[in-house]
Structure 1
Amino acid sequence: MGKKFTMTLALLLVASMVLTACGGGQSAGGDKQVLNITETGEPPGLDSAVTTDQISFDILNNVTEGLYRVDKNNQPQPAIAKDVEISKDKKTYTFKLRDAKWSDGKPVKAQDFEYAWKRALDPKSKSQYAYILYPIKGAEEYNTDKGDKKDVGVKALDDKTLEVKLNDPIPYFLTLTTFATYRPQREDIVEKHGKEYAQDPDKMVYNGPFVMSEWKHKKSFQLKKNDKYWDKDAVKLDEINANIVKETSTEVNLYNTKKADVINVNGEFVDKYKDSKELVKVPEASNFYFQFNTKEKVFSNEKIRKAFSLAIERKTITEKVTKDGVPAQGIVPITLDVNGKNYREQAGNMIEEDEEKAKKLLEEGLEELDMDKMPSIELLGYDRENAKKTQEYMKERLKNVLGVNVEIKIVPFKQKLDLENAGDFQLSFAGWGADYNDPMTFLELWVTGNPYNRGDWSNKEYDKLIKKSQTNADYEERAKDLIKAEKIAMDEAALAPLYDRQRLKLQKPYVKGIARHPFGADNTYKWAYIEGK
């Protein structure tokens, strides 16, 4: 998820808005079942076929539902699918759908899944997440204009039966069906609204625990319980009010004045609340890194890329700047497993830090490029508070160690994504969150031509190992090949991993039952409730 991460809001606007963010029903115990939260940015759009960011994924996880849903223990459990029959060769999945309805009362059909998946794969959709459907037979061929839509291995056999044929058996396919791109869509609704689909609450329909009832763009949004949801009796919250807040200090103020029940916390506030029982630490499978644009002359040179990576002191970032993570040990975070075992324990620490070696490699790289000195570099960055501090640290560090002048370009999140997608950057401070519990969710990003390989790094042996691992049924060999691939990318400095993030939140003791996930969407509110407020 990749995942992943936002816009601006003045303090006075936030304060005036949250005064009205109350209401909702009451539980049998008398507590109002209203949850007030903060969100770090504006969701760019809720079209599950094409959206790519973590904020949108989080909302979609609560207002829509796929064949399976990740449960409280981060395991895939039947959702719209009531059961599944898997063939002996593990290449054909036949899902039987339960009786479920959309928020307008129409039934959720197998055809809604077939339509949504093929729409995401349609080359005209330009979905950057289309590749997550590639395990399906014929999906890659259709998406890359080398095959036909009718040959894609997803078919509604009837309204309640969906057949999915895979190219090869993969160990995590059911988990994939929990991901946003695998969610169903109604063809009539998509066609009705066209380019405006899912850009406002009334321009989409919902089949999840909640519906989006209000969306004040760049300010707030509101979710309400979906009375048409098949499992509505499990949903206790009547209303979720989310205020879009960029500054942590503003979030803390809302929390302390009881206008927010759950907030994000980082930086200077970590020390202030480190002993509080209300501080919640959430493991997260995410990695932040330097993304090099290898089409830029200086970053086409492997030694210069390595120099940048060697110059960074990662422990300083996690202990003194962000205070919400651990130094990266490679591309894959420390929280993911492969073949039933922790991946990083098998792969080891692939990060090296060495100031003198960094200086030497920079000098050698410039000589190879026939350049007298390193030009000024523009760093494309996030507009979030903690990110700004990290970006300033890296600017100072590169200046002190390598003598490189770095200019930071801060833009809103959506604009940052647009610039990266267009390849309009030199160096970017980027992040990725796991979409599922396997190293592939990170390592496949750097395959030649992957839409998230925005720096256009390419290595044929790396591509070969990842391609093999995508279909290798020998899981022990597969794990070894993934480690070999990661080592190649690290040796060539395809990117410079910086730190693995850990989410820190302040949560009122009366908030219960929020399920938090290290991969895919961050939060599930289906089982959340208020008790003892």
Structure 2
Amino acid sequence: MKKTNWLLLVLALVLSMFLAACSGGSDDTSNSTDDADTEETDSGDSSSEEEAATGDSEQVLNLLDTAEIPTMDASLATDAVAFQWLGSTTDGLYRLGEGAETEPGIATDHEVSEDALTWTFNLREDAVWSNGDPVTAHDFVYAWQRAVDPDTGSEYGPYMMNGVIKNAEAVNAGDVPVEELGVTAEDDYTLVVELEKPVPYFESLTTFGTFLPLNQSFVEEQGDQYALEADTLLSNGPFVITEWNHGEGWTLEKNEDYWDAENVKLEQINVRVVKETATGVNLYDTGEVDRVNLSAEFVDQYSTSDEYRIIEEPTLFYVKMNQENEILSNVNARKAIQMVIDRQGITNTILNNGSIPSGGHMPKNFVQHPESGEDFRELNGDLVQTDVEKAKELWATAKEELGIEEAELGYLGGDSEVAQNMDAFIKDQLEQLEGLTVNVESVPFQVRLDRDTAMDYDLQNSGWGPDYIDPNTFMNMYVTDGANNKTGFSSEEYDSLIQKAGDELALEPAERFDAFLEAEKILIEEEAVLAPLYQRARAQLLKPYVKGVVVNPMGPDYNYKHAYIEGK
């Protein structure tokens, strides 16, 4: 790519500063997200070992998931399950490779204008869809326009593109036609993107699922059935979904027409939906699956195994509080809920998998201050501490302010075994507040997503993983009426800080970082919008013959493009 002047050098410097926290180390014992970017197996895997993978081993990977894929429509996807398999079957402009570095996808390279507002991507001419159609710049234009078209009803299109792609907000509001979105095909293999402002992390954004291309004629031919079945999907990536049994599992096969097929070793990936950990462990022990996540009761049993590993992630879980509820509109009630929960008990007793208590809304070891190099989480510290007595005092104050003696709140949680155990624990914690009754509803993942969108909840166990490597991915969620806010929270001061970080401070990395630090204090410490719970890690068993899987800090949890089976 070409960087032609001092402004672009500043942009590159800003991005490198944010990437520094998530690239590099391969030591699985390091307390950082760096180890989440190393290969799924021993760091000693080499290209020569990869080449040896074509021996007698059957190149089939067998996996588990705890939830059905809600959709394979890139414009409508909002969750980790969908983005995982979109990333496995579709190439965008770039892909996320080892060390969270971007690597070529459909784009071979790009140039950036002197004012950093125009990005020109040069596309490869050997990429095709699984129906034989060429992948062109027009596929990106159509997909990005569709994602912000108000008729589509996408959540992530406006969330990811408004204020980033020129005219995205006006298009989504219905004020201008979609053709005025700042993305055009100069020719079949040249894509031109105009930005609203300099965006330090834009290259990272292009790896995310919302920015994947779509074949317009195929999508329109399928109509409302698009991306709901294996035969109403197209792929241009390493794998193709060939079978999709809803609620049971799905099968991916190597895409022989993929532009980089010679470097894809796996012939097939089989995924089975299993919600119970014990069932998954049994399938692993009998050799039917190659990886399983462990819940607390299995960690001690397997922690001495050579196949045991912990994967740390920059993913946060927390209790969302709907401020449209009269009780939760009271800040003292929200602070009481924050303080009464024993986070250490959750990570030690319920999870027991390497997850750590969270005291804010930015993960540890995710981004560092561009001048001091200090970690964001260390700089702001724990903005919430467990203090049951203080929580009870705040709750008493809240009841007095609300004029109530008793309160009843619904709690929306997941239906997996681990989720139900955790939610029962949190219910007990919350009911230490005198007069509070918590009614837990355990629902499937898709139902929880739908009810979150509709704000049909009081309390909700929720989680967020980064969409790109920058503090903004966590902090801009809670601007007034933000697509992923869904709490009723609104603060002019908070909105102003996030806006400044995105506009006038875009090329002032230190000041921009400081604005995010202040915004987090408002969100968690002052307004108690969320009750932080924990930063996720996964305790897993992984078969030693599985090689070359990369764990990503954003987007798809895993990259299977270079995975292979050796010595099975």
TM-score normalized by structure 2? 0.87
Distance change in 2, residues 1:489/1:528 (3 Å) = same
TM-fit CA distance, 1:44: 0.7
1:245 to 274, 278, 283: 274
Cα distance in structure 1, aligned partners of 2:153 and 2:304 = 47
Query: Which residue identity is paired with 1:501?
Result: R
2:460 aligns with 428
* Structure 1 counterpart SS, 2:292: strand
Does residue 270 of structure 1 match 2:299?
yes
Please list the CA deviations of residues 268-322 of structure 1 after superposition, one character each: whole Å capped at 9, or x if unmatched: 1112111222112222111111111100100000000000001011001001111
SS class of match (2:441): strand
8 Å Cα contact 1:376-1:405 kept in structure 2: yes
8 Å Cα contact 2:395-2:433 kept in structure 1: no
Among candidates 518, 529, 554, match of residue 484 of structure 1: 518
CA distance in 2 between counterparts of 1:428 and 1:469 reads 29
Residue in structure 2 matching 1:132, options 144, 156, 160: 160
What's the counterpart of residue 532 of structure 1? 567
In structure 1, how many angstroms separate the alpha carbons of the residues matched to 2:155 and 2:467?
14
Q: Which residue number corresponds to residue 76 of structure 2?
A: 50
User: Does the 8 Å CA contact 2:57/2:565 hold for their aligned counterparts?
Assistant: yes
Instruction: Check conservation: 2:340, 2:388, Cα contact below 8 A.
Output: yes
Residue 12 of structure 2 corresponds to: none
Aligned positions of 1:370-389 closer than 5 A:
370-371=403-404, 373-389=405-421
Listed as ranges, the matches of 1:19-418 within 5 Å are 28-99=54-125, 100-130=127-157, 131-134=159-162, 135-324=164-353, 325-338=355-368, 340=370, 341=373, 342-371=375-404, 373-418=405-450
Corresponding residue SS for 1:380: strand
Name the amino acid aligned to 2:207: T
Can you list the C-alpha shifts for 1:21-78, whole angstroms capped at 9, x where unaligned? xxxxx96411100111111110011000111111111001100010010002211122
Q: Which of 51-60 and 149-158 deviates more?
A: 149-158
The residue type paired with residue 105 of structure 1 is G
Distance 2:403 2:559 in 1: 54
Contact persistence 1:448–1:463 (CA under 8 A): yes
Residue identity matched to 1:137? K
Q: Counterpart of 1:125 in 2: which secondary structure?
A: coil
Aligned partners of 1:338 and 1:439 also within 8 Å: no
Residue matched to 1:513: 548
Cα distance in 2 for residues equivalent to 1:65 and 1:71: 12
In 2, Cα distance between the equivalents of 1:115 and 1:272? 51
- Matched position secondary structure for 1:469: helix
Given that 1:358 and 1:402 are in contact with CA atoms closer than 8 Å, whether structure 2 keeps it comes out as: no
**SS where residue 448 of structure 1 aligns?**
coil
Cα distance change of structure 1 residues 338 and 185 upon mapping to structure 2, 3 Å threshold: farther
Contact kept, 8 Å, 1:85 with 1:95, in 2: the verdict is yes
Q: 1:445 corresponds to which residue? A: 477
Check the 8 A contact 1:465/1:485 in 2, yes or no: yes
Q: Distance in 2 between matches of 1:346 and 1:481?
A: 13
Counterpart of 1:121 in structure 2: which amino acid? Answer: V
Q: Offset of 1:151 from its aligned partner?
A: 2.3
C-alpha distance in 2 between matches for 1:437 and 1:465: 19
Mean Cα deviation higher: 224-233 or 423-432: 423-432
- Pairing partner for 1:474 from 493, 508, 514: 508
User: Distance between the aligned counterparts of 1:84 and 1:64, measured in 2?
Assistant: 20
Percent identity between matched residues is: 42
- After superposition, what is the alpha-carbon deviation per residue over 1:175-230, rounded to whole angstroms, capped at 9, x for unaligned? 10000000000111110111110001110210000000100110010000001100
**Counterpart in 1 of 2:18?**
none
Which residue identity does 2:339 align to in structure 1? L
Aligned equivalents of 2:430, 2:252: Cα separation in 1: 44
1:93-112 deviations in Å (ceiling 9; x for gaps): 10000121111111100000
1:123 aligned counterpart, secondary structure: coil
Q: Which secondary structure state, in structure 1, belongs to the residue aligned with residue 436 of structure 2?
A: coil
For the pair 1:465 / 2:497, whether they are aligned, the reply is yes
Query: Please, what is the CA RMSD of the aligned residues?
Result: 1.3
Equivalent position of 1:11 in the other structure: none
Q: Work out the CA distance in 2 between the residues paired with 1:151 and 1:101.
A: 27
CA contact (8 A) 2:407 2:435 kept: no
Q: Which runs of 4 or more aligned residues in structure 1 lie more than 6 Å from their structure 2 counterparts after TM superposition? A: none
Tell me, in whole angstroms, the C-alpha distance in 2 between the residues paired with 1:197 and 1:509.
Answer: 38
Task: Work out whether residues 340 and 432 of structure 2, in 8 Å CA contact, stay in contact via their aligned partners in 1.
Answer: no
Amino acid at match of 1:507: L
- CA distance in structure 1 between the aligned counterparts of 2:361 and 2:242, rounded to whole angstroms: 39
CA contact (8 A) 2:145 2:179 kept: no
Deviation at 1:358, TM superposition (A): 0.7
State the secondary structure of the residue aligned to 2:359: coil
Alpha-carbon deviation of 1:85? Answer: 0.5
Q: With structure 1 as the length reference, what TM-score do the two structures score?
A: 0.93
The SS at the match of 1:38 is strand
Cα distance in 1 for residues equivalent to 2:435 and 2:391 = 11
CA contact 1:434–1:520 (8 Å) conserved in 2? yes
Q: Give the residue type in structure 2 aligned to 1:513.
A: G
